[in-house]
Amino acid sequence: MTPSTPMAQLHALGQRLWLDNITRDLLDGGGLAAYIRDFAVTGLTSNPTIFEKAITGSGAYDAAIRAAGRDLTPEALFETLAVDDLQRAADLFGPVHAASGGVDGWVSLEVSPLLAYDAASTVTEALRLHARAARPNLFIKIPGTAEGLPAIEEAIFAGVPVNVTLLFSVDQYLAAADAWTRGIERRRAAGLSADIASVASLFVSRWDTAVVGKVPAALNNRLGIAVAQSALAAYRGLQRSPRWQGFGTQQRLLFASTGTKDPTASPTLYVHTLAAAQTVNTLPEATLKALADAPPVQGAASDDGAEAAGVLGAIAQAGVDTAHLAADLQRQGAAAFTASWHALMAVIASRQAALASG
């Protein structure tokens, strides 16, 4: 990794870059290893949409699907494929995980999105998947829905590292952080180790997509950044709080959905503007590659909330109810993952039938 690259600058600042993708082609072809070596990538995330695209768009899974025959349901076969991919990725990130003392080098496996509003089943699945994957650097992704919050607390209390997903607002972020904190406090009260890692994933770009044509042109591509900066200010407050000061491990804020959707904007817009120490940014491959050729990073993002408050005030004056929109975006996100899940199961079932018949 060249010291002068934006990736190296972000790493030196204290922000970690994770890949927002996983495919068997990336594993088999050495692409992921190259990203780790050359692009300062120190972790990755997955979700149902990512796996749907990976399995639909590649023949790399056909041998495993053919070997399984028709003995497994599509759901069971998908779990086998996903766990295998993520175990291999976790092993590649193992040296990073060890060198960072367990802070970095994580991969993420999501519970079924069909359980987004079922806390008890989510906890059961989180424990089962974590045990099956059997990797110390694997997060279980649990959505930060109202029903997901008690599941997050219970999973943390049970010792399962959690990546909280589908967070859109500061309030949703703080609720997720509180769920992690309660789980840690319960572990300490029970005499258990409080060293249970977690990240809280705030989705950024979907805010700006949602208000296209609804705000003045001067506010285009500014809402997502403002929400993220507000969350960063809240995160800094938690880091300084007496409640968190006693923890050896702190849940990190993660910026998700940071690929720019507006073709007229810089492809690294959300990367350059959200450079911040002790955070994570997950990048799609296209954004990561664009970052390699991008201008230098110009310092850290504002984390006092003042700049964000001005933008959010202007957005409100334009008639956008951000609290209502945050709830809508979370519901839409859960629905999109559910749709991807159903599409993925259909693809696997079709591939099973085709390969089994010769």
**Catalytic residue list:** 141
Amino acid at 210: A
How far is Cα 112 from Cα 159, in angstroms, rounded to an integer? 20
Residue 132 burial by Cβ neighbours in a 10 Å radius (0-12, 13-18, 19+) = middle
Instruction: Identify the sign of the CA torsion 220, 221, 224, 226.
Output: negative
3-state helix, strand, coil in the chain (%, to 5): 55, 10, 35
DSSP 249: S
Residue 224: name the closest of 252, 253, 255, 268 by CA. 255
Q: Can you point out the beta strands (E) in the chain?
A: 16-19, 41-44, 107-110, 138-143, 162-167, 198-203, 252-256, 279-283
How, if at all, do strands 252-256 and 16-19 pair?
unpaired
